[in-house]
Structure 1
Amino acid sequence: MVGVNRQPLIAGNWKMNLDHLQAVAFVQKLDWSLKDAKHDAGTVEVAVFPPFTDLRTVQILLDQDKIEFALGAQDLSTHDSGAYTGEISGAFLKKLNASYVIIGHSERRDYHAETDEVVAAKVQAALKHGLVPVICVGETLEQREQSGPTAVSVGQLEVALEGVAAGAEIVVAYEPVWAIGTGQVASPEQAQEVCAALRAVVADKLGQDAADRTRILYGGSVKSGNIASFMREPDVDGALVGGASLLVDEFAAIIRYQKHVGV
Protein backbone atom coordinates (compact mmCIF):
# COMPACT_ATOMS: atom_id res chain seq x y z
CA MET A 1 0.00 0.00 0.00
CA VAL A 2 1.97 2.95 -1.33
CA GLY A 3 1.92 6.12 0.73
CA VAL A 4 -0.89 8.54 -0.12
CA ASN A 5 1.35 11.05 -1.89
CA ARG A 6 3.79 8.60 -3.44
CA GLN A 7 3.06 7.44 -6.98
CA PRO A 8 4.21 3.84 -7.46
CA LEU A 9 7.32 3.46 -9.61
CA ILE A 10 8.03 0.35 -11.63
CA ALA A 11 11.54 0.55 -13.08
CA GLY A 12 13.06 -1.84 -15.60
CA ASN A 13 16.83 -2.23 -15.40
CA TRP A 14 17.83 -3.86 -18.69
CA LYS A 15 21.46 -4.24 -17.59
CA MET A 16 23.64 -5.26 -20.58
CA ASN A 17 20.79 -6.52 -22.71
CA LEU A 18 18.96 -5.36 -25.88
CA ASP A 19 20.76 -3.48 -28.64
CA HIS A 20 19.19 -0.30 -30.03
CA LEU A 21 17.05 -2.13 -32.58
CA GLN A 22 15.78 -4.59 -29.99
CA ALA A 23 15.12 -1.66 -27.66
CA VAL A 24 12.79 -0.02 -30.17
CA ALA A 25 10.82 -3.21 -30.67
CA PHE A 26 10.61 -3.81 -26.92
CA VAL A 27 9.39 -0.32 -26.01
CA GLN A 28 6.81 -0.32 -28.80
CA LYS A 29 5.48 -3.73 -27.79
CA LEU A 30 5.33 -2.76 -24.12
CA ASP A 31 3.44 0.42 -24.94
CA TRP A 32 0.99 -1.46 -27.17
CA SER A 33 0.48 -4.14 -24.52
CA LEU A 34 -0.38 -1.59 -21.83
CA LYS A 35 -2.67 0.39 -24.13
CA ASP A 36 -4.39 -2.76 -25.32
CA ALA A 37 -5.06 -3.64 -21.68
CA LYS A 38 -6.41 -0.10 -21.13
CA HIS A 39 -3.82 0.56 -18.48
CA ASP A 40 -4.18 3.99 -16.84
CA ALA A 41 -0.71 5.51 -17.20
CA GLY A 42 -1.40 7.90 -14.35
CA THR A 43 -1.66 5.17 -11.73
CA VAL A 44 1.91 3.89 -11.97
CA GLU A 45 5.08 5.59 -13.22
CA VAL A 46 7.06 3.37 -15.58
CA ALA A 47 10.78 3.93 -16.14
CA VAL A 48 13.15 2.04 -18.42
CA PHE A 49 16.93 1.94 -17.97
CA PRO A 50 18.54 0.87 -21.25
CA PRO A 51 22.27 0.48 -21.93
CA PHE A 52 24.05 3.71 -22.85
CA THR A 53 24.07 2.81 -26.56
CA ASP A 54 20.25 2.66 -26.58
CA LEU A 55 19.50 5.90 -24.77
CA ARG A 56 19.23 8.23 -27.77
CA THR A 57 17.13 5.76 -29.73
CA VAL A 58 14.73 5.17 -26.87
CA GLN A 59 14.52 8.90 -26.09
CA ILE A 60 13.52 9.71 -29.69
CA LEU A 61 10.92 6.91 -29.68
CA LEU A 62 9.37 8.06 -26.41
CA ASP A 63 9.17 11.65 -27.66
CA GLN A 64 7.88 10.92 -31.17
CA ASP A 65 5.30 8.34 -30.14
CA LYS A 66 4.34 10.24 -26.96
CA ILE A 67 4.98 7.14 -24.87
CA GLU A 68 4.61 7.92 -21.17
CA PHE A 69 7.67 6.09 -19.87
CA ALA A 70 10.45 7.85 -18.00
CA LEU A 71 13.99 7.32 -19.25
CA GLY A 72 16.88 6.42 -17.00
CA ALA A 73 20.55 5.50 -17.24
CA GLN A 74 22.31 2.66 -15.48
CA ASP A 75 25.25 4.67 -14.14
CA LEU A 76 27.08 8.01 -14.45
CA SER A 77 30.50 9.50 -13.84
CA THR A 78 31.39 11.64 -10.86
CA HIS A 79 32.97 14.06 -13.39
CA ASP A 80 31.27 16.54 -15.72
CA SER A 81 33.75 16.16 -18.61
CA GLY A 82 37.40 15.53 -19.34
CA ALA A 83 39.93 12.77 -19.88
CA TYR A 84 37.83 9.92 -18.51
CA THR A 85 37.69 7.33 -21.27
CA GLY A 86 34.52 5.28 -21.24
CA GLU A 87 32.74 7.44 -18.68
CA ILE A 88 29.36 9.16 -19.17
CA SER A 89 28.62 12.55 -17.63
CA GLY A 90 25.37 13.45 -15.95
CA ALA A 91 25.33 16.51 -18.22
CA PHE A 92 25.16 14.20 -21.26
CA LEU A 93 22.31 12.20 -19.73
CA LYS A 94 20.32 15.32 -18.97
CA LYS A 95 20.67 16.44 -22.61
CA LEU A 96 18.94 13.19 -23.57
CA ASN A 97 16.03 14.03 -21.27
CA ALA A 98 16.92 11.24 -18.88
CA SER A 99 15.03 11.58 -15.62
CA TYR A 100 16.69 8.92 -13.48
CA VAL A 101 20.04 7.24 -13.01
CA ILE A 102 20.79 4.06 -11.07
CA ILE A 103 23.60 4.50 -8.57
CA GLY A 104 25.33 1.94 -6.39
CA HIS A 105 23.82 -1.19 -7.90
CA SER A 106 25.33 -4.26 -6.29
CA GLU A 107 26.91 -5.24 -9.62
CA ARG A 108 28.74 -1.90 -9.71
CA ARG A 109 29.80 -2.28 -6.09
CA ASP A 110 30.99 -5.84 -6.67
CA TYR A 111 32.42 -5.93 -10.22
CA HIS A 112 33.76 -2.35 -10.26
CA ALA A 113 34.71 -1.99 -6.59
CA GLU A 114 32.49 1.03 -6.04
CA THR A 115 32.66 2.10 -2.41
CA ASP A 116 30.02 3.88 -0.37
CA GLU A 117 32.02 7.07 -0.91
CA VAL A 118 31.99 6.65 -4.70
CA VAL A 119 28.24 6.09 -4.53
CA ALA A 120 27.85 9.30 -2.51
CA ALA A 121 29.88 11.25 -5.08
CA LYS A 122 27.71 9.89 -7.88
CA VAL A 123 24.57 10.91 -5.99
CA GLN A 124 25.92 14.45 -5.87
CA ALA A 125 26.78 14.33 -9.58
CA ALA A 126 23.25 13.20 -10.45
CA LEU A 127 21.59 15.90 -8.37
CA LYS A 128 23.92 18.55 -9.80
CA HIS A 129 22.57 17.82 -13.27
CA GLY A 130 18.91 17.53 -12.34
CA LEU A 131 18.77 13.73 -12.44
CA VAL A 132 16.95 11.70 -9.80
CA PRO A 133 19.36 9.16 -8.30
CA VAL A 134 17.98 5.67 -7.74
CA ILE A 135 20.23 4.75 -4.83
CA CYS A 136 20.66 0.99 -4.52
CA VAL A 137 21.46 -0.64 -1.20
CA GLY A 138 21.42 -4.23 -0.02
CA GLU A 139 23.23 -6.97 1.81
CA THR A 140 24.75 -10.31 0.89
CA LEU A 141 23.53 -13.41 2.68
CA GLU A 142 26.75 -13.50 4.70
CA GLN A 143 26.30 -9.87 5.74
CA ARG A 144 22.70 -10.52 6.69
CA GLU A 145 23.70 -13.43 8.90
CA GLN A 146 26.51 -11.44 10.55
CA SER A 147 24.90 -8.00 10.94
CA GLY A 148 21.17 -8.58 10.76
CA PRO A 149 18.67 -7.59 8.07
CA THR A 150 18.99 -3.80 8.12
CA ALA A 151 22.50 -2.79 9.21
CA VAL A 152 24.24 -2.94 5.83
CA SER A 153 21.51 -1.15 3.87
CA VAL A 154 21.11 1.52 6.54
CA GLY A 155 24.87 2.14 6.59
CA GLN A 156 25.08 2.37 2.81
CA LEU A 157 22.21 4.85 2.61
CA GLU A 158 23.55 7.01 5.43
CA VAL A 159 26.77 7.57 3.48
CA ALA A 160 24.95 8.08 0.17
CA LEU A 161 22.82 10.88 1.65
CA GLU A 162 25.71 12.87 3.13
CA GLY A 163 25.39 16.45 1.93
CA VAL A 164 22.10 15.89 0.11
CA ALA A 165 19.68 18.80 0.48
CA ALA A 166 16.39 18.21 2.26
CA GLY A 167 14.43 19.24 -0.84
CA ALA A 168 16.27 16.91 -3.23
CA GLU A 169 14.28 14.25 -5.07
CA ILE A 170 15.73 10.78 -4.62
CA VAL A 171 14.58 7.20 -4.99
CA VAL A 172 15.92 4.38 -2.83
CA ALA A 173 16.01 0.78 -4.02
CA TYR A 174 16.48 -2.07 -1.57
CA GLU A 175 17.97 -5.02 -3.40
CA PRO A 176 19.13 -7.86 -1.19
CA VAL A 177 22.12 -9.18 -3.10
CA TRP A 178 21.19 -12.74 -2.26
CA ALA A 179 17.89 -12.31 -4.14
CA ILE A 180 19.15 -10.69 -7.37
CA GLY A 181 18.83 -13.10 -10.27
CA THR A 182 18.85 -16.10 -7.96
CA GLY A 183 15.16 -16.93 -7.89
CA GLN A 184 15.26 -16.39 -4.14
CA VAL A 185 12.97 -13.61 -3.01
CA ALA A 186 12.75 -11.73 0.24
CA SER A 187 9.36 -12.11 1.87
CA PRO A 188 7.11 -9.05 1.86
CA GLU A 189 7.67 -8.81 5.60
CA GLN A 190 11.46 -8.87 5.15
CA ALA A 191 11.26 -6.19 2.46
CA GLN A 192 9.00 -4.05 4.64
CA GLU A 193 11.36 -4.29 7.61
CA VAL A 194 14.30 -2.97 5.59
CA CYS A 195 12.31 -0.38 3.64
CA ALA A 196 10.91 1.03 6.90
CA ALA A 197 14.45 1.28 8.28
CA LEU A 198 15.56 3.07 5.11
CA ARG A 199 12.70 5.54 5.37
CA ALA A 200 13.83 6.28 8.90
CA VAL A 201 17.31 7.07 7.54
CA VAL A 202 15.80 9.52 5.04
CA ALA A 203 13.83 11.14 7.87
CA ASP A 204 16.95 11.43 9.99
CA LYS A 205 19.12 12.82 7.20
CA LEU A 206 16.66 14.91 5.16
CA GLY A 207 13.63 15.40 7.41
CA GLN A 208 10.20 13.85 7.76
CA ASP A 209 8.76 15.62 4.72
CA ALA A 210 11.45 14.04 2.55
CA ALA A 211 10.82 10.65 4.13
CA ASP A 212 7.09 10.94 3.41
CA ARG A 213 7.58 11.73 -0.27
CA THR A 214 10.60 9.52 -1.09
CA ARG A 215 9.77 6.34 -2.96
CA ILE A 216 11.48 3.18 -1.76
CA LEU A 217 11.55 0.27 -4.18
CA TYR A 218 12.13 -3.43 -3.70
CA GLY A 219 14.28 -5.34 -6.17
CA GLY A 220 15.35 -8.96 -6.34
CA SER A 221 13.66 -11.62 -8.50
CA VAL A 222 10.48 -9.53 -8.80
CA LYS A 223 7.80 -11.17 -10.96
CA SER A 224 4.15 -10.62 -11.82
CA GLY A 225 3.26 -13.37 -9.37
CA ASN A 226 4.83 -11.69 -6.34
CA ILE A 227 4.77 -7.94 -7.04
CA ALA A 228 1.34 -7.32 -5.50
CA SER A 229 2.34 -8.89 -2.19
CA PHE A 230 5.24 -6.43 -1.92
CA MET A 231 3.11 -3.48 -2.94
CA ARG A 232 0.73 -4.15 -0.06
CA GLU A 233 3.48 -3.20 2.37
CA PRO A 234 3.28 0.43 3.58
CA ASP A 235 6.92 1.31 2.91
CA VAL A 236 7.31 -0.41 -0.47
CA ASP A 237 6.50 2.07 -3.24
CA GLY A 238 7.47 0.10 -6.33
CA ALA A 239 10.04 -2.24 -7.79
CA LEU A 240 13.38 -2.19 -9.55
CA VAL A 241 12.97 -5.11 -11.93
CA GLY A 242 15.85 -6.92 -13.61
CA GLY A 243 15.36 -10.03 -15.73
CA ALA A 244 11.57 -9.82 -15.80
CA SER A 245 11.79 -6.32 -17.32
CA LEU A 246 13.13 -7.90 -20.54
CA LEU A 247 9.93 -9.88 -21.11
CA VAL A 248 7.17 -7.69 -22.52
CA ASP A 249 4.17 -9.60 -21.20
CA GLU A 250 5.74 -10.21 -17.80
CA PHE A 251 6.86 -6.62 -17.33
CA ALA A 252 3.45 -5.34 -18.46
CA ALA A 253 1.80 -7.61 -15.89
CA ILE A 254 4.11 -6.26 -13.17
CA ILE A 255 3.19 -2.71 -14.15
CA ARG A 256 -0.50 -3.65 -14.03
CA TYR A 257 -0.26 -5.27 -10.57
CA GLN A 258 -3.19 -3.13 -9.37
CA LYS A 259 -5.49 -4.80 -11.91
CA HIS A 260 -4.79 -8.46 -11.44
CA VAL A 261 -4.61 -8.40 -7.63
CA GLY A 262 -6.35 -5.82 -5.50
CA VAL A 263 -4.11 -3.70 -3.31
Structure 2
Amino acid sequence: MARTRRPLIAGNWKMNGLQADGIALAKAVAEGVRQAAWADREVLVCPPSTLVLAVAAAVRGSGLLVGGQNCHAKASGAHTGDVSAEMLRDAGASHVIVGHSERRADCGETDAIVRAKAEAAWRAGLTPIVCIGETLDEREAGRTLAVLEGQLTGSVPGGATADRLVVAYEPVWAIGTGKTPTTPEVAVAHAHIRKVLGGIMEGATSVRLLYGGSMKGSNAAELLAAGDVDGGLVGGASLKADEFLAIAKAA
Protein backbone atom coordinates (compact mmCIF):
# COMPACT_ATOMS: atom_id res chain seq x y z
CA MET A 1 0.00 0.00 0.00
CA ALA A 2 1.39 3.40 -0.93
CA ARG A 3 2.58 5.37 2.07
CA THR A 4 0.22 8.19 1.15
CA ARG A 5 -2.83 5.93 1.50
CA ARG A 6 -3.86 6.02 5.14
CA PRO A 7 -6.43 3.28 5.89
CA LEU A 8 -10.02 4.43 6.31
CA ILE A 9 -12.65 2.41 8.16
CA ALA A 10 -16.10 3.84 7.48
CA GLY A 11 -19.32 2.75 9.13
CA ASN A 12 -22.60 3.06 7.21
CA TRP A 13 -25.42 2.94 9.74
CA LYS A 14 -28.03 2.97 6.95
CA MET A 15 -31.60 3.62 8.21
CA ASN A 16 -30.84 2.74 11.81
CA GLY A 17 -30.65 4.80 14.97
CA LEU A 18 -32.86 7.09 17.02
CA GLN A 19 -31.27 9.93 18.93
CA ALA A 20 -30.53 8.19 22.25
CA ASP A 21 -29.05 4.97 20.88
CA GLY A 22 -27.35 6.73 17.97
CA ILE A 23 -25.50 9.15 20.20
CA ALA A 24 -24.62 6.35 22.63
CA LEU A 25 -23.14 4.29 19.78
CA ALA A 26 -21.22 7.26 18.42
CA LYS A 27 -19.80 8.09 21.84
CA ALA A 28 -18.71 4.50 22.40
CA VAL A 29 -16.90 4.41 19.04
CA ALA A 30 -15.42 7.86 19.66
CA GLU A 31 -14.07 6.78 23.04
CA GLY A 32 -12.39 3.79 21.43
CA VAL A 33 -10.85 6.00 18.76
CA ARG A 34 -9.72 8.53 21.37
CA GLN A 35 -8.07 5.86 23.50
CA ALA A 36 -6.35 4.24 20.53
CA ALA A 37 -5.10 7.63 19.31
CA TRP A 38 -4.50 6.19 15.84
CA ALA A 39 -2.34 8.45 13.73
CA ASP A 40 -1.97 5.90 10.95
CA ARG A 41 -5.65 5.37 10.10
CA GLU A 42 -8.97 7.22 9.97
CA VAL A 43 -12.32 6.09 11.36
CA LEU A 44 -15.61 7.46 10.08
CA VAL A 45 -19.27 6.93 10.96
CA CYS A 46 -22.13 7.82 8.63
CA PRO A 47 -25.39 8.03 10.61
CA PRO A 48 -28.82 8.87 9.15
CA SER A 49 -29.18 12.54 8.22
CA THR A 50 -31.38 13.13 11.28
CA LEU A 51 -28.39 12.32 13.50
CA VAL A 52 -25.44 13.92 11.69
CA LEU A 53 -25.59 17.17 13.67
CA ALA A 54 -26.03 15.48 17.06
CA VAL A 55 -23.37 12.83 16.38
CA ALA A 56 -20.87 15.40 15.13
CA ALA A 57 -21.39 17.43 18.30
CA ALA A 58 -21.14 14.34 20.54
CA VAL A 59 -17.81 13.15 19.10
CA ARG A 60 -16.11 16.51 18.54
CA GLY A 61 -12.44 16.40 19.51
CA SER A 62 -12.25 12.60 19.66
CA GLY A 63 -10.69 12.06 16.25
CA LEU A 64 -13.76 10.22 14.93
CA LEU A 65 -14.98 11.58 11.60
CA VAL A 66 -18.66 11.95 10.65
CA GLY A 67 -20.25 11.67 7.22
CA GLY A 68 -23.58 11.52 5.44
CA GLN A 69 -25.11 8.60 3.56
CA ASN A 70 -26.37 10.55 0.56
CA CYS A 71 -26.76 14.06 -0.79
CA HIS A 72 -28.65 15.87 -3.53
CA ALA A 73 -26.77 17.27 -6.49
CA LYS A 74 -28.19 20.76 -5.93
CA ALA A 75 -27.16 23.08 -3.10
CA SER A 76 -30.76 24.08 -2.29
CA GLY A 77 -34.20 24.32 -3.81
CA ALA A 78 -37.52 22.55 -4.24
CA HIS A 79 -36.36 19.02 -3.48
CA THR A 80 -38.65 17.79 -0.74
CA GLY A 81 -37.10 15.20 1.55
CA ASP A 82 -33.55 15.63 0.23
CA VAL A 83 -30.42 16.89 1.96
CA SER A 84 -27.72 18.91 0.22
CA ALA A 85 -24.00 18.42 0.60
CA GLU A 86 -23.83 21.93 2.03
CA MET A 87 -26.33 20.96 4.74
CA LEU A 88 -24.21 17.95 5.67
CA ARG A 89 -21.09 20.08 5.83
CA ASP A 90 -22.92 22.63 7.98
CA ALA A 91 -23.96 19.81 10.35
CA GLY A 92 -20.35 18.74 10.84
CA ALA A 93 -19.80 16.11 8.13
CA SER A 94 -16.49 15.66 6.33
CA HIS A 95 -17.52 12.84 3.96
CA VAL A 96 -20.60 11.60 2.13
CA ILE A 97 -21.43 8.20 0.61
CA VAL A 98 -22.71 8.44 -2.97
CA GLY A 99 -23.95 5.72 -5.29
CA HIS A 100 -24.46 2.99 -2.73
CA SER A 101 -26.02 -0.04 -4.40
CA GLU A 102 -29.13 0.34 -2.26
CA ARG A 103 -29.62 3.85 -3.67
CA ARG A 104 -28.84 2.66 -7.19
CA ALA A 105 -31.39 -0.17 -6.87
CA ASP A 106 -34.09 1.37 -4.66
CA CYS A 107 -33.99 4.91 -6.05
CA GLY A 108 -32.87 4.29 -9.63
CA GLU A 109 -29.66 6.27 -9.28
CA THR A 110 -27.62 6.15 -12.47
CA ASP A 111 -23.90 6.69 -12.87
CA ALA A 112 -24.67 10.22 -14.09
CA ILE A 113 -26.63 10.98 -10.91
CA VAL A 114 -23.83 9.57 -8.75
CA ARG A 115 -21.32 11.67 -10.65
CA ALA A 116 -23.37 14.83 -10.04
CA LYS A 117 -23.59 14.02 -6.33
CA ALA A 118 -19.83 13.53 -6.13
CA GLU A 119 -19.37 16.93 -7.75
CA ALA A 120 -21.81 18.38 -5.22
CA ALA A 121 -19.72 16.92 -2.41
CA TRP A 122 -16.63 18.68 -3.78
CA ARG A 123 -18.58 21.92 -4.10
CA ALA A 124 -19.44 21.74 -0.39
CA GLY A 125 -15.95 20.70 0.72
CA LEU A 126 -16.85 17.07 1.44
CA THR A 127 -15.01 13.94 0.34
CA PRO A 128 -17.32 11.62 -1.62
CA ILE A 129 -17.10 7.86 -1.11
CA VAL A 130 -18.16 6.62 -4.54
CA CYS A 131 -19.64 3.11 -4.35
CA ILE A 132 -19.51 0.53 -7.12
CA GLY A 133 -20.24 -3.19 -7.27
CA GLU A 134 -21.72 -6.00 -9.32
CA THR A 135 -24.92 -8.00 -8.73
CA LEU A 136 -24.94 -11.78 -8.43
CA ASP A 137 -26.29 -12.15 -11.97
CA GLU A 138 -23.52 -9.93 -13.33
CA ARG A 139 -20.91 -11.88 -11.42
CA GLU A 140 -22.19 -15.27 -12.60
CA ALA A 141 -22.18 -13.95 -16.16
CA GLY A 142 -18.48 -13.12 -15.81
CA ARG A 143 -19.10 -9.38 -16.10
CA THR A 144 -17.71 -8.22 -12.76
CA LEU A 145 -14.72 -6.28 -14.10
CA ALA A 146 -16.70 -4.77 -16.98
CA VAL A 147 -19.42 -3.59 -14.58
CA LEU A 148 -16.87 -2.04 -12.24
CA GLU A 149 -15.18 -0.26 -15.14
CA GLY A 150 -18.46 1.11 -16.44
CA GLN A 151 -19.57 2.35 -13.04
CA LEU A 152 -16.21 3.94 -12.34
CA THR A 153 -15.91 5.79 -15.62
CA GLY A 154 -19.51 6.96 -15.33
CA SER A 155 -19.52 7.90 -11.66
CA VAL A 156 -16.13 9.54 -10.99
CA PRO A 157 -16.18 13.18 -12.12
CA GLY A 158 -13.45 14.74 -14.19
CA GLY A 159 -10.79 16.52 -12.20
CA ALA A 160 -10.72 13.90 -9.44
CA THR A 161 -7.69 13.90 -7.16
CA ALA A 162 -6.62 11.41 -4.52
CA ASP A 163 -7.12 13.85 -1.67
CA ARG A 164 -10.80 14.34 -2.45
CA LEU A 165 -11.97 10.92 -3.63
CA VAL A 166 -12.55 7.54 -1.98
CA VAL A 167 -13.86 4.54 -3.94
CA ALA A 168 -15.70 1.68 -2.23
CA TYR A 169 -16.10 -1.71 -3.89
CA GLU A 170 -19.18 -3.48 -2.56
CA PRO A 171 -20.30 -6.65 -4.35
CA VAL A 172 -24.08 -6.25 -4.18
CA TRP A 173 -24.55 -9.96 -3.53
CA ALA A 174 -22.32 -9.76 -0.42
CA ILE A 175 -24.04 -6.84 1.32
CA GLY A 176 -25.79 -8.04 4.45
CA THR A 177 -25.72 -11.68 3.36
CA GLY A 178 -22.71 -12.87 5.32
CA LYS A 179 -21.13 -13.97 2.04
CA THR A 180 -17.85 -12.49 0.85
CA PRO A 181 -15.61 -12.95 -2.17
CA THR A 182 -12.36 -14.79 -1.60
CA THR A 183 -9.32 -12.69 -0.78
CA PRO A 184 -7.83 -13.27 -4.27
CA GLU A 185 -11.15 -12.21 -5.85
CA VAL A 186 -11.13 -9.00 -3.82
CA ALA A 187 -7.53 -8.36 -4.85
CA VAL A 188 -8.36 -8.85 -8.54
CA ALA A 189 -11.31 -6.46 -8.34
CA HIS A 190 -9.31 -3.79 -6.52
CA ALA A 191 -6.37 -4.10 -8.90
CA HIS A 192 -8.76 -3.58 -11.80
CA ILE A 193 -10.33 -0.56 -10.10
CA ARG A 194 -6.87 0.93 -9.60
CA LYS A 195 -6.03 0.32 -13.26
CA VAL A 196 -9.25 1.92 -14.50
CA LEU A 197 -8.73 4.92 -12.23
CA GLY A 198 -5.26 5.29 -13.72
CA GLY A 199 -6.85 5.83 -17.09
CA ILE A 200 -9.27 8.54 -15.98
CA MET A 201 -7.35 10.61 -13.43
CA GLU A 202 -3.96 11.67 -12.18
CA GLY A 203 -2.63 10.22 -8.94
CA ALA A 204 -4.73 7.06 -9.05
CA THR A 205 -2.11 5.15 -7.06
CA SER A 206 -2.91 7.34 -4.05
CA VAL A 207 -6.72 6.96 -4.10
CA ARG A 208 -8.04 4.93 -1.18
CA LEU A 209 -10.04 1.86 -2.19
CA LEU A 210 -12.38 0.42 0.44
CA TYR A 211 -13.93 -3.03 0.48
CA GLY A 212 -17.50 -3.44 1.69
CA GLY A 213 -19.86 -6.39 1.91
CA SER A 214 -20.27 -8.37 5.14
CA MET A 215 -16.98 -7.17 6.63
CA LYS A 216 -16.82 -7.95 10.35
CA GLY A 217 -14.28 -8.37 13.10
CA SER A 218 -13.67 -12.03 12.27
CA ASN A 219 -12.79 -11.50 8.61
CA ALA A 220 -11.52 -7.91 8.56
CA ALA A 221 -7.82 -8.72 8.83
CA GLU A 222 -7.97 -11.15 5.90
CA LEU A 223 -9.97 -8.80 3.67
CA LEU A 224 -7.84 -5.79 4.55
CA ALA A 225 -4.72 -7.78 3.68
CA ALA A 226 -5.91 -8.32 0.10
CA GLY A 227 -4.02 -6.35 -2.50
CA ASP A 228 -5.00 -2.68 -2.98
CA VAL A 229 -7.46 -2.68 -0.07
CA ASP A 230 -7.09 0.53 1.93
CA GLY A 231 -9.95 0.12 4.37
CA GLY A 232 -13.57 -0.89 4.63
CA LEU A 233 -17.09 0.43 4.22
CA VAL A 234 -18.85 -1.45 6.98
CA GLY A 235 -22.61 -1.94 7.26
CA GLY A 236 -24.18 -4.09 9.98
CA ALA A 237 -21.00 -4.48 12.01
CA SER A 238 -20.77 -0.70 12.40
CA LEU A 239 -23.87 -0.76 14.61
CA LYS A 240 -21.91 -2.48 17.39
CA ALA A 241 -19.11 -0.37 18.84
CA ASP A 242 -16.87 -3.28 19.87
CA GLU A 243 -17.22 -5.01 16.50
CA PHE A 244 -16.60 -1.83 14.55
CA LEU A 245 -13.56 -0.92 16.66
CA ALA A 246 -12.18 -4.44 16.13
CA ILE A 247 -12.32 -3.80 12.38
CA ALA A 248 -10.60 -0.45 12.83
CA LYS A 249 -7.92 -2.13 14.91
CA ALA A 250 -7.38 -4.70 12.15
CA ALA A 251 -6.55 -1.89 9.73
TM-score under structure 1 length normalisation: 0.91
Q: Unpaired runs of 5+ in structure 2? A: none
Q: In structure 2, what is the Cα distance between the partners aligned to 1:99 and 1:32? A: 19
Q: In structure 2, what is the Cα distance between the partners aligned to 1:5 and 1:200? A: 18
The correspondence of residues 1-263 of structure 1 with structure 2, limited to 5 A, is 2-34=1-33, 38-63=35-60, 66-166=61-161, 169-207=164-202, 210-258=203-251
Q: 1:165 to 1:178 in 2, by over 3 A?
A: closer
Deviation (angstroms), 1:30: 2.0
Q: In structure 1, what is the Cα distance between the partners aligned to 2:160 and 2:102? A: 27
Deviations 1:77-107 (A, max 9, x none): 0111111101111111111231110000000
Q: In structure 2, what is the Cα distance between the partners aligned to 1:140 and 1:167? A: 27
Deviations 1:187-229 (A, max 9, x none): 111111111111112111112xx21211000000001111111
Number of residue pairs matched by the alignment: 251
Please give the secondary structure, in 1, of the residue aligned with 2:10: strand
The AA in structure 1 aligned to 2:130 is: I
Q: Structure 1 residue runs of 4+, over 6 Å off? A: none
TM-score under structure 2 length normalisation: 0.95
Q: In structure 2, what is the Cα distance between the partners aligned to 1:31 and 1:252? A: 9
Matched residues, percent identical? 42
Deviations 1:97-141 (A, max 9, x none): 311100000000001011111111111111111111100000001
Q: In structure 2, what is the Cα distance between the partners aligned to 1:141 and 1:129? A: 35
Kept in 2, the 8 Å contact 1:23–1:54? The answer is yes
Q: In structure 2, what is the Cα distance between the partners aligned to 1:55 and 1:189? A: 36
User: Aligned Cα RMSD in Å?
Assistant: 1.5
